[in-house]
Structures are given as C-alpha cells and as structure tokens.
C-alpha cells in the first residue's frame, strides 16, 4: 500500500511539473519567438525620423524580417537600385526632404521596371482633411496600404503580412486610405 508520505511527495512532484510547464509556456510568449513567415523577407524602411525607424526595425526584426533603412526618398531609391537583393517590401514615409518625397519615390518605382513590382506601404503622420487637401485627389499612387503614425505594432505587422500576401489593394487615390 502507498503511504501518505509517498502520495504527498508524488502530488508535490506533479505540481512542480505542471508549474514548470506553465512557466515555460509563459516565457515563450514573453520572448515573442519570431514568426517563421518573416524569415528571409527583406523590408526597406524609408523615413527621416530616426526614432520611428529604430522602433519599426525592432518590431519587424522581432518577427524575423530582415530590415534596412534610408532617411530620404533619394537614398531609398539608391538603396533599392544598388542593394545586392531588392527589398520584398518598402515602408515609405510621404513627407521627408519635401512634402511629396514619398509619393515621388512611389511614382519613380512604378516607372522603373526593376522596382515596379515591389509592394509599398505608405506611412504618414499627415491625417485629416486639411492634410489630404495638399495632394491632388485624382492621382493614383501604387501602394499596398496606408498607415497613420503612430502605428500600433500589431497593425503594422498585420498590414505587412497582408501586403506581402497581396491581400490589400494595389492602388488607391492619394488621401483615401486603403481598408485594413
């Protein structure tokens, strides 16, 4: 027959085993193990705000994406044209060296046969009707999605995944954000 002490020790060991399993699962969630879908995917972040770039890189890299950056439209185009491998996606600010820098980069990409198939997500702090009035409403810009700063990490990652999968619209008029 099993003694009370033996049953007590067995119950304690089972409790410790359950505790260790739960703790391991919690630690895995805290570490945010990278999503394998991001492995090997190259994303170029083009923005003149170094804080935004640093935060965006951390978010993307935490999911396994390879990132590189440019701080202006001209630098972004240069990086795209000279990098050993072109990016799989470009995150592009609208207003950098001048008010339509990002829009001009998107248009230049569309005219370049080597860059025209790279999806673009426009990210801007320009929101509201007053900002949208600065852009011609009938001009179409080939972008996969529009995001407004500040961007929540979950929304950024979801939009990146959707754009890479071709889920969001290819072209939307300036000032009319794509549905996300």
pLDDT single digits (tens) 58-93? 999 999 999 999 999 999 999 999 999 999 999 999
Buried b (16+ CB within 10 A) or exposed e, 72-95: bbbbbbebbeeeeebbbbbbbbbb
Residue 46: count of CB within 10 angstroms of its CB: 28
Domain coordinates in residue numbering, the chain: 1-31, 36-173
Q: Which residue has the higher pLDDT, 164 or 169?
A: 164
Contact by Cβ (8 Å): 103, 58: no
pTM: 0.70
- 132 pLDDT exceeds 90? no
DSSP code, position 167: -
What six digits make up the tokens of 162?
Answer: 């959707």
Residue 29 C-alpha from the chain's centroid: 20
d(CA 175, CA 146): 9
Helices (H) and strands (E) in the chain, counts: 6, 7
Q: Which of 14-23, 25-34, 36-45, 140-149 has the lowest mean pLDDT?
A: 25-34
Fold of 36-173: Rossmann fold (3.40.50)
Residue 31: what pLDDT? 39
């Amino acid at each position: 027959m099993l003694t009370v002490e033996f049953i007590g020790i067995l119950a304690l060991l089972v409790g410790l085993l359950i505790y260790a399993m739960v703790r391991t699962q919690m630690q895995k969630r805290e570490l945010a193990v990278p999503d394998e879908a991001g492995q090997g995917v190259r994303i170029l972040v083009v923005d003149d705000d170094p804080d935004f770039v640093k935060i965006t890189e951390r978010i993307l890299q935490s999911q396994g994406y390879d990132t590189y950056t440019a701080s202006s439209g001209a630098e972004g185009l240069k990086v795209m044209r000279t990098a050993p491998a072109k990016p799989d996606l470009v995150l592009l600010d609208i207003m950098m060296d001048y008010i339509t820098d990002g829009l001009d980069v998107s248009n230049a990409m569309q005219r370049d046969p080597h860059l025209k198939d790279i999806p673009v997500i426009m990210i801007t702090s320009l929101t509201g009707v007053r900002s949208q009035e600065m852009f011609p409403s009938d001009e179409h810009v080939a972008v996969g999605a529009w995001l407004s700063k500040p961007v929540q990490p979950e929304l950024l990652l979801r939009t990146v995944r959707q754009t890479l999968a071709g889920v969001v619209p290819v072209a939307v008029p300036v000032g009319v954000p794509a549905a996300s």
